[in-house]
């Protein structure tokens, strides 16, 4: 049941629309005379980290102007609409904060899936004949694959179109990008190690994009990202969840699935390049040709 759901892009696009509709519904629950904050709405959706998602879509609600920042400062347009309902002095709101939302908390459903997949994580020394780098671009809806043999010779590049409608929410990138990647990789006939532009175990729930793809398909994966999503660095080793999960080498390389720290260290020595590991560097160049630099973030 879960595996079929994870492969269904239409299901997740609909889930993305459900998130937006849930947000609109929450905003419309705010009574006249009250305001709420972006963070309170994110908490009502199931995770305070979703404040950026709230900020991106809250103006779709008719009463969007009842949503204020945590400092209670409002814009001139917002003030003109809100001052008929609450007290405003200067540009600061003086009104009770509404918190009593009725919500299905949809983000908790996604967390449960992540927690389920954590139990499928394996640590191994992988066997493979090819190394495949994977990156996603948005301007032209491209997924790029750079396929190398074990001698670092570029054998082939592939590009595929995607139709991603699931919104960007930090730490939930797997439901935006992981689903289309899984759908492509499940049909590939390679004994390969997959390098994915994103994180692995350096994620609040150990379920970065590389780990998600690896556990869904039981494949060996490594995450490679520009920025650290979660964890700490000591002596260039990335620690998360009280364990070493990867290395900082100018970028952040972490265990995804069916790999281990010793293998990761050896692989980095052989495959590291200027900005990323070589397979991601090539895949990234392909997507940049199609998208510019418009991707909002990497989990």
Name the binding residues: 135, 197
Helix (H, G, I), strand (E, B) or coil at 239: strand
Q: Of the candidates 257, 146, 247, which has an alpha carbon nearest to the alpha carbon of residue 212?
A: 257
**Distance, CA of 242 to CA of 222 (rounded, Å):** 19
The Cα–Cα gap between 127 and 139 comes to 35
- Extract the tokens encoding 205: 């729930």
DSSP-derived secondary structure letter, 168: P
Work out whether strand 154-161 and strand 192-197 pair parallel, antiparallel, or are unpaired.
unpaired
Taking Cα atoms as reference points, which of 109, 131, 76 lies closest to residue 268?
Answer: 131
Pair 220, 128: CB distance under 8 Å: yes
**CA-based max dimension of the chain:** 69
Quick check: 203 and 211 in contact, CB under 8 A?
A: yes
Contact 253, 210 (CB under 8 A): no
**Alpha-helix residue ranges (DSSP H) falling in 131-208:** 178-185
What is the C-alpha separation between 113 and 90, in angstroms, rounded?
A: 46
Radius of gyration of the chain (CA): 21
What are the two backbone dihedrals, phi and then psi, of residue 296, each rounded to the nearest 5 degrees?
-70, -25
- Residues making up the annotated binding site for Mg(2+) are 135, 197
């Amino acid at each position: 049941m879960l595996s079929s759901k994870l492969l269904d892009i239409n299901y997740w696009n609909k889930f993305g629309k459900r998130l937006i509709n849930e947000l609109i519904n929450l905003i419309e629950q705010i009574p006249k005379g009250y305001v709420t904050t972006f963070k309170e709405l994110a908490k009502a959706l199931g995770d305070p980290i979703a404040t950026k998602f709230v900020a991106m879509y809250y103006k779709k609600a008719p009463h969007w102007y009842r949503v204020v920042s945590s400092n209670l400062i409002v814009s001139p347009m917002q003030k003109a609409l809100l001052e008929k309902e609450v007290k405003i002095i200067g540009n600061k709101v003086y009104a009770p904060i509404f918190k009593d939302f009725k919500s299905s908390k949809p983000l908790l459903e996604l967390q449960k899936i992540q927690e389920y997949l954590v139990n499928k994580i394996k640590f191994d020394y992988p066997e493979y004949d090819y190394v495949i780098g994977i990156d996603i671009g948005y301007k032209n809806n491209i997924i790029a694959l750079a396929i190398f043999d074990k001698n670092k010779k570029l054998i082939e590049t592939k590009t595929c179109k995607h139709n991603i409608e699931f919104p960007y929410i930090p730490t939930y990138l797997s439901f935006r990008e992981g689903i289309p990647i899984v759908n492509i990789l499940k049909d590939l006939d390679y004994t390969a190690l997959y390098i994915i532009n994103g994180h692995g175990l350096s994620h609040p729930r150990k379920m970065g994009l590389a780990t998600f793809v690896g556990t869904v398909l039981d494949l060996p994966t490594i995450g490679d990202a520009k920025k650290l999503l979660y964890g700490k660095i000591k002596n260039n080793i990335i620690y998360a969840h009280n364990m070493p999960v990867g290395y900082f080498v100018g970028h952040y390389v972490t265990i995804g699935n069916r790999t281990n720290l010793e293998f990761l260290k050896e692989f980095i020595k052989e495959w590291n390049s200027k900005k990323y590991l070589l397979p991601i560097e090539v895949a990234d160049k392909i997507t940049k040709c199609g998208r510019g630099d418009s991707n909002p973030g990497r989990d």
